[in-house]
Structure 1
């Protein structure tokens, strides 16, 4: 996201009670863009998974911030979730797949199925984790029915 884009940023404590804020913010952003309801539901799932990972894994005692940035550019929505916690080391070419025994660890695999681009890197200054999700937006075509 560049500084010239329309960017909305939200920061909240890494506590489960605050996860709903991420979905509410996304719903607000979606009002300015014609999104198919299924796409919005998929994006809500993706943002819940990304923020949930930060809440569960970033901070040992849960004390720390989670920041979400929403950027709208022509034809795409970019969502960045960043924490300042312990960080996740993932090679840039990682293919996020469902684990054979789904007891957990499915979040990034789920996200990768509902967004067009997924990038997981170290956060700003090499601390924490940054999850960048991009969804290419297409206008809904009227149905012939």
Structure 2
């Protein structure tokens, strides 16, 4: 995959608790495929499930949809979770995103705000848009270079030297 090329996977699911697990399995499968560690995948599953649970719990009075988009980049996985039934193109959305402010007092956050703190802790970058519903974009960077450098060091070091 070239630096500017990415794979996009999109899902539209009923905003019901029984579908949160489907999204967790999907993020796990995609993250595993592109080389994230077990711990990183577990963190992503928790963060994405928390974002989906916020949609299920707070977004609708009755029936509704949650739209989830996965953008597989050469160095990261971006996961966007949207409510209010809007489908979206992640690249078009980028201009409207703002970072989640982890220093904002809990009382000033919208309902489910504690979940944003958890998501912010588990992911490398978290952005939000409140235009016509809420869209939360969570990014986890792939640190392949660190692993490769570490592996090289182990392979070239001889015992007793």
Give the drift of 1:95.
1.7
Query: Which has the larger Rg?
Result: 2
> Equivalent of 2:116, from 87, 108, 115?
108
TM-score in terms of structure 1 length: 0.79
Aligned to 1:96: 102
Q: Over residues 69-120 of structure 1, what are the superposed CA-to-partner deviations in whole Å (9 max), with x where a residue is unaligned?
A: 11111111100001116xxxxx9455225849xxx63100000011111111
* Structure 2 segments unaligned to the other structure (5+ residues): 86-96, 155-161
TM-score in terms of structure 2 length: 0.72
The whole-number CA distance in structure 1 between the counterparts of 2:100 and 2:27 is: 26
- Give the paired residue count: 130
Query: 1:33–1:93: structure 2 CA closer, same or farther, 3 Å change rule?
Result: closer
Aligned to 1:137: 142
Matches within 5 A, 1:30-41: 30-41=31-42
The whole-number CA distance in structure 1 between the counterparts of 2:99 and 2:15 is: 28
Kindly indicate whether the alpha-carbon contact (under 8 Å) linking 2:75 and 2:141 is maintained by their aligned counterparts in 1. yes
2:19 is the alignment partner of 1:14: no
- Cα RMSD after superposing both structures: 2.4
The whole-number CA distance in structure 2 between the counterparts of 1:115 and 1:105 is: 16
Kindly indicate whether the alpha-carbon contact (under 8 Å) linking 2:69 and 2:80 is maintained by their aligned counterparts in 1. yes
Aligned to 2:53: 52
Give the drift of 1:30.
1.9
